Amino acid sequence: MNESPRTPMHREDSLPVDNQRVLNGRYELGGLIGRGGMADVYRGTDTRLGRTVAIKLLRPDLARDPQFQARFRREAQAVAALNHSSIVAIYDTGEHTVPDGSAESVRVPYIVMEFVEGKTIRELIRANSVTIAQAIDYCLGVLAALEYSHKAGIVHRDIKPANVMYCEGSDSVKVMDFGIARAMADSSATMTQTQAVVGTAQYLSPEQARGETVDARSDLYSAACLLYEMLTSRPPFIGDSPVSVAYQHVREIPEPASSVNPDVSPALDSVLAKALQKNREDRFQDAAAFRRALRAARSGIPVMAVPASEAPTDPNDYVPAAAPATQAFAATGASFLDDAPTGRLAATSAYPDRGTAAVPAAEEEDPAPAPLPLGFAPESERSTRQTSRRRAWIATLVVVTLLVLAGGGLWLYNTVNRPAPIVQVQIPAVAGMTESAALQELYKADLPPRIVRMQHDTVAKGTAIGTEPASGALNPGTEVVLNISEGPSAVKIPESLPGKTEAAARDMLRQSGLVGAPSTTTANSATVPAGIVITTSPAPGQMVGVGTTVELVVSTGKVAVPELRGRTREEAEAALKELGLVPNVIEVENGQVEAGRVTDQSDAVNAAVEQGKTVSIVVAKAPPPPPSPTATPTPTASPTKRG
């Protein structure tokens, strides 16, 4: 039995997630908001539509079990077609690859659903904050959701306080967790493949506890248990183990709710008494009738009690009807057909003290018969022969009449009970539909599908290829093979991978049917920021087989400094600018090196530096020429005067 309690699905518990993951390139995981028996629920963001969603991920340790995967997918299929204000909506489904340390990664399915702010009914009950009026309103909301799902052919099978949420903003309730829901047409609707009963013991209907098939009335029983607990703060049956509680559901009558909570009215007691009947024929036959009775009880109008002449409360307690009284017949075989002229009848066993044969009145007083002529029998002998012949004819007539009546009755029985001819259904055309839509079409046609996945070069992954048989008419309930495409056998490495983050690139590879290498290769780049994909190996645009491992080359955001010494100033500056580095030239006089040559650099050769860093280079500058020596003035001869 599904006895483990579940954490409320859409309540913010603010458990952070260290590594943000992107599902299907669209849904970004946030904090953990709920943990259940087989799945974890995260708050997420639909990056395409910009809305907050709840993402339900099957636990990786259960993802390898086909039964859990089938149950998880069945929840999405059951709720996908339901669109009601009191049912949590399903937006999308898919699979997310999670490495588990082995050679193969685990493909974990997920469901994207409506994010609901509120508290579960279980939390409200534990806080003793549910009034009688609120209990009736909450139950009416649950019944409205059940009425809608039952009309769609879906039985929830696990109605309980933890699966109903109250939204304070809209003052409404939401029914969630269709994890064990089944279609009404499913003949094994209460059993798993291991023949174990599913459901929660405190809210289990008697037919579920006995392992019988369930229908809409089983959900109504569980809803009555929910109403009982809201009114009394305890379920109708409490035991030491799930088995003992299930036994009480089958055999025992719950205490009236008014005996636990005196504020409960007799009208509400009458509604619960009818809704908690062991025999489903004695309960409300649909959610609409339950809702009408609950509204009437709110006004003080009780429900009519189940007549004592109807079927027993427990179908297992069969009481045979009393056998009708029979009449005793004479041991001598005297019959009502005996019409002897004497008019004397044999005595019956109603007078056992008188014996089994009667003596005719005054027989002993009759004189001896007179002698007859030769050849004539006495009159008494002729009367005996006539009576014998008459009896023989009457017996023959009775036998013939009985045979005719028996033959006519047999013919009439065969005519009336002749099975109606089976009306066949047409196989719907599902080629080109999504897997979820194709499943819904086949279930609507009462043709249970068996999914077969195969490679296809032209049909996208997750799209229906068609059915086997492809068309025609079949008897309802016939299994049909649904072929789902796994994508082409050879795929092209996306050319848009360069420039993506590593997480986004890995998700694109998964969607293309490829696998990202477990380890990431890093490389320096002058232009690509840190953490962004530079290229892949094999290169983007190449055709590779499905499932090929692709290595991602991610930028470190750094640049290796080249050797600049010995180069000219112009060559060194060009080399630095090509790598996105900023040159800082320092000129130093150097008479040993040719002017304009780099003699030193601030960062070592091949040192990894951040993009755009300033690198200083020392450039030789020619020293100024030495000053020329001072010239001695030559004396000028004075002109000789002549007289």
441-482 pLDDT, tens digit each:
898 888 999 999 988 878 888 899 999 998 888 888 899 999
Token digits of residue 157: 């099978």
Q: Which residues are catalytic?
A: 158
Question: Does the structure show a pLDDT above 60 at 237?
Answer: yes
What pLDDT is recorded for position 365? 38
Q: Determine if the pTM surpasses 0.85.
A: no
Q: How many CA atoms lie within 13 A of 563 on its CB side?
A: 1
Dihedral in degrees, nearest 10, Cα atoms 73, 75, 77, 78: 160
Coil, helix or strand for 92?
strand
Q: What is the mean pLDDT of the chain?
A: 78
Mapped to the 3 state alphabet, what secondary structure does 248-273 carry? HHHHCCCCCHHHHCCCCCHHHHHHHH
219 — pLDDT class (breaks 50, 70, 90)? very high
pLDDT tens-digit profile of 308-353? 434 444 444 433 333 333 333 333 333 333 333 333 333 333 333 3
- What is the helix (H) or strand (E) element at residue 54, kind and residue range? strand 51-58
Q: What pLDDT shows up at residue 631?
A: 53
Show Cβ contacts of residue 367 under 8 Å, excluding neighbours closer than 6 positions.
none
Give CA separation, 392 vs 338, 399, 406, in Å.
11, 11, 21
Residue 209, pLDDT score: 87
Is 38 a residue whose pLDDT tops 90?
A: no
Query: What's the whole-number mean pLDDT along residues 592-616?
Result: 89
Domain annotation for the chain: domains and CATH numbers: 22-114 (3.30.200.20), 119-298 (1.10.510.10), 427-485 (3.30.10.20), 490-556 (3.30.10.20), 560-621 (3.30.10.20)
Question: Backbone phi, then psi, for 36, in 5-degree steps?
Answer: -115, -170
Helix (H, G, I), strand (E, B) or coil at 171: coil
> From residue 397, how far is each of 160, 400, 403, 406 by CA, in Å?
68, 5, 10, 14
What angle do helix axes 216-232 and 287-298 make, rounded to 10 degrees? 30
Give the pLDDT score at 126: 93
Distance between CA atoms of residues 432 and 412, nearest Å? 51
Read off the pLDDT of each residue in 377-391 and give the average, rounded to a whole number: 64
pLDDT band at 385 (very low <50, low <70, confident <90, very high): low
pLDDT surpasses 50 at 178:
yes
Q: Token pair for residue 237?
A: 């049956």
Separation in Å, CA 540 to CA 387, 494, 518, 520, 536: 113, 6, 18, 16, 6
Query: Residues 428, 474: contact at Cβ < 8 Å?
Result: no
Alpha helices in 188-265 (DSSP H): 206-209, 216-232, 242-251, 257-260
Cis omega (within 30 of 0) on the bond before 469?
Answer: yes
Q: Label residue 275 by pLDDT band (50, 70, 90).
A: very high
**pLDDT tens-place string over residues 524-567:** 888 889 899 999 999 999 888 888 899 999 998 899 999 999 89
d(CA 536, CA 521): 9
Question: Phi and psi (nearest 5°) for 280?
Answer: -65, -20
DSSP per-residue string spanning 459-497: SPTTBEEEEES-SSEE-TT--EEEEEE---SEEEPPTT-
Per-residue pLDDT tens over the stretch 98-156: 776 565 677 888 889 888 888 899 999 999 999 999 999 999 999 999 999 899 888 88
